[in-house]
Amino acid sequence: MTALNINARIAVIGAGAMGAGIAQVAAQAGHPVLLLDNRPGAAAQAIDGIDRQLGKRVEKGKLSAEARAATIARLQAVEAIEALADCELIIEAIVENLEAKRTLFRQLEGICGEQCILASNTSSLSITSIAAQLSHPQRLLGLHFFNPAPIMALVEIVSGLASDPRLAECLYDTAKAWGKKPVHTRSTPGFIVNRVARPFYAESLRLLQEGAADCPTLDSLMRDAGGFAMGAFELTDLIGHDVNYAVTCSVFDAYYADTRFLPSLIQKELVDAGRLGRKSGHGFYSYAEGAERPQPKHISSEQSIDTCVVEGSLGIAQPLITRLREQGVEIIQRDGQGLLRTGDAVLALSDGRMACQRAREDGLRNLILLDLAFDYGKASRIAISYTADIDPTALEQGVAVLQRAGLNVSPLSDSPALAVLRTVAMLANEAADALLQGVASAADIDLAMRAGVNYPQGPLAWGDAIGLSHLLKVLENLQASYGEERYRPSLALRRRVAEGRTFHDKS
């Protein structure tokens, strides 16, 4: 089935932030669009708002005055639901309440034609459940846009138990024709993005709770090493802690209290205190006038390093060696297990064990563990951890070699899998479980995380880049360290490792 014809009349119900944005997207694509809200005058106001937004784009030279006028001419505010009778697609973006949505769709069934596709923009309710009481549940699907809808590219096309696969294809093609990046997903709690993204917040919150590092240090590691646009604390301050905490609680409840989704007491306390983030002027950071953003911690060294010994390969961290060579450091290559030696210091990429444990088990004195970086060739910061009894000169030497490669060095307490590695390992593990459960394809999961929350790389592709055997080891070590099911590796990961395949390997 192909995309809806450009002349097909579309309706959007609910003229709030999402409904107005979706109406704008459909109208800009060329469809006649009706906008309805049960607050009198709200739909007309929303169209005025869209007009103002488009006006700003015209002023900036990003849109022609003709295109603005044509878009606005395609939008029509209506006050009665009966006006939607001849629409071919109706997208609901009303209040997030199951009964309200069910009632609305039942009412629509009595008004619109049999060919009309019904879609919900819900972000947390089950499509199966919304459709359950309809006479034709097969024509109801989820069409989940991200905020702000005109800007965010991702649209999750959500199929419930009864949804017609041909209609899912039609919505997929239609979203694509609207310039979006659609993905298919099954109606499971959190769909793709709101489920797979949970560890991004959860692992930073846990590290904070355990005193591994402070907020600015963890945030800067996620940005400067992890390649994420923002760290978890600045991002949740932006989203609003009430909203982010509610999503976590809803996913946690929906998965029957699986500890992978355990909400954070630290975040709950912020919500209890009314520190909701930017919108209330205070969250993890203060947004009061003149408030200064605290700086990330780093350590520096006065030592000078001219020679290093590399034993084996550092795996994904190998570009660090290129950076050192470029700085004129002499590299002596030997066989071995992936260690970088300089002076008395031994550096290695974390495998999920604490430094104290690995030093003892592998007989390595003065061990310094390196965190993951998205691109070791370009990162400007790296986290390290080390044993409490490290020789201070060896620590200085280890820090000096990383400095020489151009990195700021942020110390963490001796935590399993440090910060970026544990976060990415858990993102990849959650994505693997979603894959295992048939929630979406590997390609769609990765696309959803890149287009929906701007991750620098899809979590499954990232797992492939780290190496799935290493990823599995990291998770097993995390699970052993904490003794918690939260870190249990997904069967999908174990299976790929046993089969010698990657996540994106189709063979």
Footprint of ligand NAI on 30-69 (CB under 6 A): 37-39, 42
Out of 8, 10, 11, 13, the only residue in the binding site for ligand NAI (CB under 6 A) is: 13
Rank residues 69 and 95 by Cβ distance to ligand NAI and give the closer one: 95
* Size of residue set near ligand NAI by CB under 6 A: 22
121 annotated active-site: no
* H or E element, residue 185: strand 181-186
CB 39 within 8 A of CB 13: no
* Short-list 122, 172, 117, 114, CA closest to 139: 117
Residue with smaller CB distance to ligand NAI, 95 or 498? 95
Q: Is the dihedral of CA 479, 485, 486, 490 positive or negative?
A: positive
Return the CA Rg of the chain. Answer: 26
Q: CA–CA separation, 376 vs 374, rounded Å? A: 6
* Least gap, CB of 18 to ligand NAI (angstroms): 3
DSSP 396-449: HHHHHHHHHTT-EEEE--S-TTTTHHHHHHHHHHHHHHHHHTTSS-HHHHHHHH
What sign results for the dihedral spanned by CA atoms 258, 261, 267, 268? negative
State which residue, 100 or 177, has the beta carbon closest to ligand NAI: 100
Residues 94-153 that bind ligand NAI (CB under 6 A): 94-96, 100, 104, 121-123, 145, 147
Which residue has the CB atom at the shortest distance from ligand NAI?
16
Active site residue 144: yes
Q: How far is the CB of 60 from ligand NAI (least distance, A)?
A: 25
User: C-alpha 198: how far from its chain's center?
Assistant: 8
Rounded least distance, CB 175 to ligand NAI, Å: 14
CB of 219 to ligand NAI, least distance (A): 22
Distances (CA, A) of 53 to 17, 20, 49, 142, 479: 13, 11, 6, 27, 49
Of 152-171, which residues contact ligand NAI (CB under 6 A)?
none
User: Contact between 18 and ligand NAI (CB under 6 A)?
Assistant: yes
Question: For residues 19 and 459, which CB has a smaller minimum distance to ligand NAI in the complex?
Answer: 19
Torsion of Cα atoms, 271 then 275 then 279 then 282, to 10°? -160
Catalytic residue among 92, 156, 203, 396: 156
CB of 260 to ligand NAI, least distance (A): 23
Out of 194, 385, 429, 490, pick the active-site residue: 194
| 197 belongs to the binding site for ligand NAI (CB under 6 A) | no
Active-site hit among 88, 120, 121, 123:
123
Whether cis (ω within 30° of 0) applies to the bond prior to 189 is no
Any catalytic annotation for residue 194? yes
Quick one: which segment of 65-73, 91-99, 377-385, 389-397 binds ligand NAI (CB under 6 A)?
A: 91-99
Q: Which is nearer to ligand NAI, 41 or 336 (CB)?
A: 41
Which two structure tokens, joined as six digits, stand for 107? 């009412």
Residue 142 DSSP one-character state: E
Q: Is 93 in the site for ligand NAI (CB under 6 A)?
A: yes
Catalytic residue among 144, 241, 282, 470: 144
Please state, as a whole number, how many other Cβ atoms lie within 10 Å of the Cβ of residue 294.
Answer: 14
| Sites of contact with ligand NAI (CB under 6 A) | 13-19, 37-39, 42, 93-96, 100, 104, 121-123, 145, 147
Active site residues: 123, 144, 156, 194
